[in-house]
Amino acid sequence: ADSASEVEGMELVRRADVAMYHAKRVVRDEAAFVRYVPELDESEARRADLARDLPSSLHDGTIYLNYQPIVFVGAGEQIVGLEALVRWNHPHHGRISPEELIQLAEEVGNRDELYSFIVHRAARDAAELIAEHPDDGLFMTVNASPAELRSPATVDSVAAALAAAGLPAESLFIEISERLVDPDEEAIVATMDALADLGVKLLLDDFGQGQTSLSFLHQLPVTGIKLDRQLVLNSAESDTERIVVESIVGLSARLELTVIAEGVETQHHLETIMRTGCRIVQGYHFHPPLHLSKIATLLRHQSRPVAAPSGGPVPAAAPAAVLSRPA
Ligand code: C2E
Ligand code: MG
Ligand code: MG
C-alpha cells in the first residue's frame, strides 16, 4: 500500500476529488472530513454503473414494484390495501435499496421519470385488482419522497396515472414520510394540497419518528397516519409506550384520521397494537412485500368480510367506511 506522501500530481487530485464527492453525497455534509481509501474508488465505480443503468432499468423489468398487503383486523383478517414498494434488482450489483434508488434518481435527473413509472404501474395494477374484486374496498398506496413532492411534475404524473388506469382518485393514497417532510415548507404543502384536490388521499408515513404533533395534523390535508414500526416495537416492550400509542390512536379517531400500524412482525406485536385500538396493520406477521401475481392469488383466496357477532368487542365496520374521511 502506498502512503499519501508517495502519491503525487493528478492522482492526488483525483483522490481528493473522490473523497470530496463522497463527503457531499454519502456523508451528505460538504464540511465533513473524508479521508481517501481505495474502497471509495469501488463505491464510485458502482455508483457510475448504477447511474448509467438507471434509465434502461425502467424499461427492462429490473426496476419493478412489490406490493405489501395492508390488513384490516376485525372479525377475521381482510386485505384492504396494498403499499407499492419499488425494487431494483441490478444484474451486477444485486438488490439496490429503494432509498438508494430514489436518491440516485434525484441526483442523476431521473426523478420525475422514476416517479411516473412507479405511480403509473401502481395505478394500473390497482385498477386491475379492484376490477377483479370490486367489493373488497381495496386501496393502493404509493410513497413520495420530499424531492418528489417538490417537483412540479409529480401532481401531473399522479393525474395522468389515474386517467390512464381508469382508477378513481379515492383509491390512491400517497404516503409522505413524517421523518423527511418539513410541514412548513411551502412547495411541499402546495403539492399536498394539489394532490388532495385531485381526490387522492394522503397518509403521513413513519409517524412517531418526526416532530409532528397530532394537533398540528389537521392543518395538513392528510387522511391518516402510519405508525412507525419503532412505536409498534416500543409499545410491545413497555406499558408506558403502549399507553402513549393508545392516546395517539384515540386522538386520531376523534380527529377522524385513519391509523395504520407498520412493522407488525409477531402475534405479540399484533395483540399489543390491537389493545391500542388500531385495526389496520401491515407487517411480516401477515405478508411481506410480494409480486403482483402473489397478491392476485391472495385476494382470490380471501373470503368475503363477515359481519361480527353483535355485541362483539371488535368493530366490523366495512374497511371503506373505516378509511374514508368526511370531506
Ligand atoms: P416505508 O414506506 O416506511 O416502507 C416500509 C418498509 O418496511 C419497506 O421497506 C417494507 O419492506 C418494510 N417492512 C414491511 N413490513 C415490515 C416488518 O414487519 N418489519 C420490518 N422490519 N420491516 C418491514 P423497503 O421496501 O425496503 O422500503 C424502505 C423505504 O424506502 C420505505 O419505507 C420508503 O420510505 C422508501 N420507498 C420504498 N419504495 C418507494 C417508492 O416507490 N418511492 C419512494 N419515494 N420511496 C420508496
Ligand atoms: Mg410507506
Ligand atoms: Mg413507513
Higher pLDDT, 281 or 36: 281
Mean pLDDT of all residues belonging to the chain:
88
pTM confidence score: 0.88
In what helix (H) or strand (E) does residue 39 lie, and over which residues does it extend?
helix 39-57
Which DSSP letter does residue 290 get? B
Q: What nine digits make up the cell of 72?
A: 384490516
Check whether 138 has a pLDDT greater than 80: yes
Using pLDDT thresholds of 50, 70 and 90, give the confidence band for residue 317.
very low
In what helix (H) or strand (E) does residue 203 lie, and over which residues does it extend?
strand 201-207
pLDDT digits (tens, 9 = 90+) for 213-267: 777 777 789 999 999 999 999 999 999 999 999 999 999 999 899 999 999 999 9
Mean pLDDT along residues 115-119:
98
pLDDT at 59: 96
Task: Answer for the pair 180, 118: CB distance below 8 angstroms, yes or no.
Answer: no
Closest-CA residue to 82 (of 299, 257, 266): 299
Rounded to an integer, what distance in angstroms lies between the CA atom of residue 50 and that of residue 43? 11
pLDDT digits (tens, 9 = 90+) for 171-221: 999 999 988 877 788 899 999 999 999 999 999 999 988 777 777 777 789
Q: What nine digits make up the cell of 90?
A: 441490478
Ligand 1 neighbour 227 (Cβ under 6 A): no
Using pLDDT thresholds of 50, 70 and 90, give the confidence band for residue 313.
very low
Q: Which residues surround ligand 2, an ion (CB under 5 A)?
A: 143, 175, 205
Full DSSP string of 215-258: HHHTTTT-SEEEE-HHHHHHHHH-HHHHHHHHHHHHHHHHTT-E
Which DSSP letter does residue 303 get? P
Ligand nearest to the CA of 209: 3
Q: Tell which one of 99, 110, 143, 272 to mutate to probe ligand 1, the residue whose CB is within 8 A of the most ligand atoms.
A: 143
What number of other Cβ atoms are within 10 A of residue 222's Cβ? 24
pLDDT at 316: 35
Over its C-alpha atoms, the chain yields an Rg (Å, rounded) of 22
Ligand nearest to the CA of 86: 1
Task: Answer for the pair 68, 47: CB distance below 8 angstroms, yes or no.
Answer: no
Q: Tell which one of 66, 85, 151, 267 to mutate to probe ligand 1, the residue whose CB is within 8 A of the most ligand atoms.
A: 85
pLDDT at 179: 81
Q: Which of 15-29, 117-131, 147-161 has the lowest mean pLDDT?
A: 15-29
